[in-house]
Structure 1
C-alpha cells in the first residue's frame, strides 16, 4: 500500500473559505464560517426534538427533515415514530420530506445546494454535495441544532490530497471503481484529508459520477471530497433548476493552481474493476470464486441516480439468472418519475425486478429486502460490512451498476460474467 505526499499549498477548499471570511485560510487551520443549509434525518430527529426544543424555536437557518432511512414503516413502532416526527416538525416549522420522497443527500443535490455553499447535516453522506463544489460537513445532533440557531459552523481545513485525473473510463469501469482503487492503493494515507479532484479526466465525467466521488470520499477515510465546479456543473444546474435560480446563485469558478508534484496522478483508462467486500476494496478478479449469487440490490445511496439505474438497465442483454432476486431503489422521487417516463421501470419490471419506493432501501437492513443467512448479495451500495443488510452470515459485495447487471444475468461470481461486456483486464 502506497502513501501520499500531502499538499501543503492552499487548495480549492482553502480558497473558498478565504473568500467567505475575507482573509487567507491555510492548511491545518480551523475557522468559523457562515453555514448555508442544515438538514437532519428520521433516525436522529427524535433525539433532537426531545433535547433541543428551545434552540429549534430560536433557529435562524431553515431546517429540513428527511424520512429516508426507516420509511415506509416496517412495523407499528416505526409507524408511530413517523407520525410523531411529522407532528413535532410541524410544531417547529421544519420542512419535511416524507416517506418515498427519497434519500436526503440525493434530494439536496437536486433541489437545494449550490456551488461554494456550506451544508451541514447529521447525514453521514452529506459529502455528496462536494460533487457540486459545495462543502458537506457531517455534524452531530447538538451541532446541527446550534448551527441552525447561530448560522455558522467551525470548519476543519486539513491538508489537501490533489487527485489529477486524465483520460476517460474504459469498458465497465466507473467512478465507483476509481474510489475503491484509491482506498486499495493508498488506504490510511487518505484518512482525514481533503480529496480534491482536478484535471482533464474530470471534464469527461458526468455530474452523477462526480457525486459518486464525493459520496464515497468519507467512506474511504477522507474528511471531504470536492470537485471544483466548472462548465459541466453549470450545464447540469441549468437543466434541473430554473433560469432565475441559476442567475441568482451560480458563481464563477475558483481557479486554483495545482502542484502536480504532490498530486496522485491517475489515467482513468487504467482504473481496474473493483469490488467492496466486508474486508475492504479488492480487485474484482480476487472475488471471482464461482459462488452462486442470491440477491442483486441496485440504487440507494451511492448509485441511486437515474443515470446509475439506466446504466444497470442498459447493461442487461439477456434474461436474469433463475433464483436471483433483483431489487432497484431510486434515490429520489424525481429519479423515479424520470425512469417511469422513459420506460425504464417497465423494462425492469418485465424482467422481474422488484422496484422499491425512493429512499435508502435495503442498504441499512431495515426493510425492503433484508438478506438471510449464507446469501451472496451483489449491491451498488457503499458498505459491505457483515450484518449491514440483515444476517451477519450473508456475504456482501458492492460493485458498479454495469457489473451488477452482468452478475444478475450470469448468476455466479465468475469471469464469464465479465465477458458479457468489454472491461479492463488489469
Structure 2
C-alpha cells in the first residue's frame, strides 16, 4: 500500500506554473475562473432543488400527508442525486475514453441542465397523481448522473501546476462555487417568495429558478469548453497523466484511497446541508421566524462562507491542508454541542447558528477537496478525485436533511449534535489512518 506517501514523491510540482518543456502556458488564474464558474453553476442546480424541497415540494407533490412527512419525502428524493452521482462519473468516464472530454462535458451538462429545467414543467400531484412524484424522482436522479459526469479535471490540473507553498490557496478556489451557487439560488427564491402571493408562488413562481438553471448551465458550459477543448489544456492533461481510468480499475487498485479521502472530509460535508437546507425545514415546521428572514440570513451566511473559504487557503498554506481539515473538524464538533440551544430558541439564536455554521463551513469545506487525493498515483488523480468527491457527498451530505429532520422531530435537536459529531470522528479517524499509512510507507 505504497500510495499513502505518494504525495511526497510521486508528483513533483514545478516551482513555476506550467513551466514544463515547450508547451504553451495557461495561467493558474485562468483555470481557476473555469473551476469557479463550473462549480457555481452545478451547485446552483442542486440548491434550487434543496430550497424547493422545503418551500414547494411538500405542498405541490405531497399534499396528501402532513407537512413533516411531506418534507421527509422531499428529502428522500433529494438524496437520489447523490446516490446516482458515482454512476454518472463511471458512465461519463467511459464516454470520455471513447469520444473525448468535450463530448463528455457537453453531454453531462446538457443532462444536468435539462433535468433541472424539466422539473419546472412537472404537473403537480393534483393533476396526475403519483406519476408527478415518480417524474420528480427520475429528474433528480438524472441531475445526479449529469453532476457526476461534469467533472472536467480542472481542479486536479490546477493542483498539479501551482507552487507547493500555494496549494492551499488554489485548493480553496473551486470550493467558492458552492456558496456562490447557494447565494444565487437563495436570492432568486427570496425575490419570488417576497414578490408573489402564496397561490402564485406555488402555482408557477417556483418554476422560474429551474428555468434559469438551464441558462446558467449553458453559460458555464461555454466558459469551461473554452479551456477544455484547447490544445494547451489537452497537452497539459496528457503530460500530467490525468486519465479517465475505468471505475473497476480504480476501485480494484485505489479503492482504499477513495474511501479514505471521502471520510477525511466528512465533517465539512456533514455540516454543508445542516446550515443550508436543514434550518429552512426546521423553521418551516416550528415557525419561530419568517421564511423570508431566514433566506436573507442564509444569504448573509453564504457571503460569510466565501470570506472564510478564502481565509482557509491562507491558513492551509501556513499549517498544512490536512492539519487545517482536522482542526476545523474539531471546531465543527464543538459547534455541534451548541446546536440544540441555538436552533431550539428564537430567531436571533437561529441566525447566530447559521452565520457561525457558514463561517465554519467556509474554513473546513475550503480545504475539503484534494486533502487526501494527493495520495493517488498521478495517473489515477483525475478519476480518483471525482470518485472521492462523489462518495464524500454521498456519505456526508446526501441524507443530512432527512436524518437531521427525522431524528430531531423524534428526539429533539440533539440529533443534529450527534450527526455532526459522527462526521467529526470520521474525519479525524481517516486523517489518522492516512498519517499512519504515510509514516509506515
Instruction: Provide the TM-score with structure 2 as the length reference.
Output: 0.24
Higher share in strand: 1
Higher share in helix: 2
Instruction: Provide the TM-score with structure 1 as the length reference.
Output: 0.24
